[in-house]
Chain A
Amino acid sequence: MNSIFTQKRIIVIVFLLVCFLIINAFFGNQLKDFFYSRSEQLQASLWDRGSGDSFARKNQEELNKKLIEENQKLLSDLAGLQGAREENESLREALGLNLQKEFDLILGRIISKDILSDSILINIGLNDGVKKGFPVILSGKALLGRVVDVYPNYSRVMLITDKNNMIDVEIPDAQSFALSKGEGELKMTLDMFPRDKELKEGSLIITSAMGGNYPAGLLMGKVKNVKKLDNEVYQKAEIEKVFDLNTVNNVFVVKIAEIYND
């Protein structure tokens, strides 16, 4: 016992503990930002190589990326049209207002992904106007996640597939609401879908404004493997996500006016 936990080692641990407490209390974020800025170039280059640039697949990847973006946009448009067209028109007529607001976006770039959790680091932060809780989307209005930590020049984004992420969603096909739960390892499931309604394979899932964290109408994914068990009150399903992180380099942070749950 004495040869491993020597008095000297215990003193070093206590000293380190005090140092870390001081660092976290006064300049934890600045220190992280410093390390991110030093390694950004190398990490961005590694990310590019990992996403296919160095494997002689550039053209295929670019084409694939374009098709995925186009698909996301089309699916998003379709989802928006299915659920809310009539309602929107009648409301616009009634109020004389244009409710279709353009998003205020900030362009960012992915630098790295945490290997043990579903979170990524992007190269925009407090100095660019990013705040904790802002949603992060892709070019096709597909939801990627939301900002959970902001440093002066960088931000950490928790992906929608992270285990801590639960999002209120809407399934326009079924005219019903449900809950999307992150499962980790880039997977997520649909839960709390009413048993008495029909949940179809391939139905589009979009964000609902009920939770308050995300703007309504952002594309989440498609319904897959519906499970309707006799002994359960709600139906469950898997969610097929619409983005492939391997082909994503650029993301958009959406500036929203109010963040309710942060």
Chain B
Amino acid sequence: MIKEILKTLVLLIVMYCLFLFEMSFLPFFTFFSFLMPFVVLINIFEDPSGRIGLFSAFFYGLLWDIYSSHYIGLMALSFLILSLLLKLILSRYVRTGSLSWLPKI
């Protein structure tokens, strides 16, 4: 249980740092968000039973809500539900090789 909480906290801290980097440093070089495709890729290649994709989608949405003019939770819940739908589609209709080395939460 403690190990799971620690893993989630590490994920949150890493995403927070990457998000601040994206918001304050990257606007000088690109209009494109690099974190969003990263989150999508995790969700696509993760084992459908894993939760790291769900957590990363939720945290990314939450950070985006906080650092934009959206209502807090709008993107967080939307991304969480989209992540679940993506997992549903992938588990039912698509066969991909999942990344078994991804740490599980």
Interface string of B23-65 (1 = CB under 8 A from A): 1111111111100000000000000110000000000000000
Q: Enumerate chain A residues within 8 angstroms of B87, measured Cβ to Cβ.
A: 4
> Does the CB pair B25–A114 fall under 8 Å?
no
Q: Which of A15-23, A73-81, A94-102, A165-173 is the contact stretch?
A: A15-23
> Does the CB pair B73–A23 fall under 8 Å?
yes
Interface string of B56-86 (1 = CB under 8 A from A): 0000000000111101111011001100100
Instruction: Tell yes or no: A249 within 8 A of B by CB.
Output: no
Instruction: Tell yes or no: B13 within 8 A of A by CB.
Output: no
Tell which of B22, B27, B29, B69 has the most Cβ of chain A within 10 Å.
B27
Q: Enumerate chain A residues within 8 angstroms of B88, measured Cβ to Cβ.
A: 1, 4-5
Give chain B's interface secondary structure class.
helix
Q: In the assembly, what is the distance between CA of A4 and CA of B89, in Å?
A: 10
Q: In the assembly, what is the distance between CA of A49 and CA of B27, in Å?
A: 12
> Does the CB pair B23–A114 fall under 8 Å?
yes
Instruction: Tell yes or no: B102 within 8 A of A by CB.
Output: no
How many A residues are at the interface, by size bracket?
A: 35 or more
Residue among A31, A111, A117, A246 making CB contact with B24, cutoff 8 Å: A111
Residue of chain B at shortest CB distance from A39 = B20
- Contacts known (A5-B88, A24-B72, A24-B73); A116 close to B25, Cβ less than 8 A: no
> Does the CB pair A4–B91 fall under 8 Å?
yes
> Does the CB pair A43–B23 fall under 8 Å?
yes
Residue among A20, A115, A148 making CB contact with B26, cutoff 8 Å: A115
Q: Enumerate chain B residues within 8 angstroms of A121, measured Cβ to Cβ.
A: 67
Q: In the assembly, what is the distance between CA of A16 and CA of B80, in Å?
A: 11
Instruction: Tell yes or no: A46 within 8 A of B by CB.
Output: yes
Q: Assuming A4-B48, A35-B67, what are 7 further A-B pairs, CB within 8 angstroms?
A: A1-B92, A5-B84, A47-B25, A50-B28, A114-B68, A116-B33, A246-B28
Contact surface of B with A, Cβ cutoff 8 Å = 20-33, 48-49, 66-69, 71-74, 76-77, 80-81, 84, 87-88, 91-92
Q: List 24 A-B contacts (CB under 8 A).
A: A5-B84, A9-B84, A13-B80, A16-B77, A17-B73, A20-B76, A20-B77, A21-B73, A31-B66, A32-B66, A32-B72, A35-B66, A42-B24, A46-B21, A46-B24, A47-B24, A50-B27, A50-B28, A111-B24, A112-B20, A113-B27, A114-B23, A115-B27, A156-B68
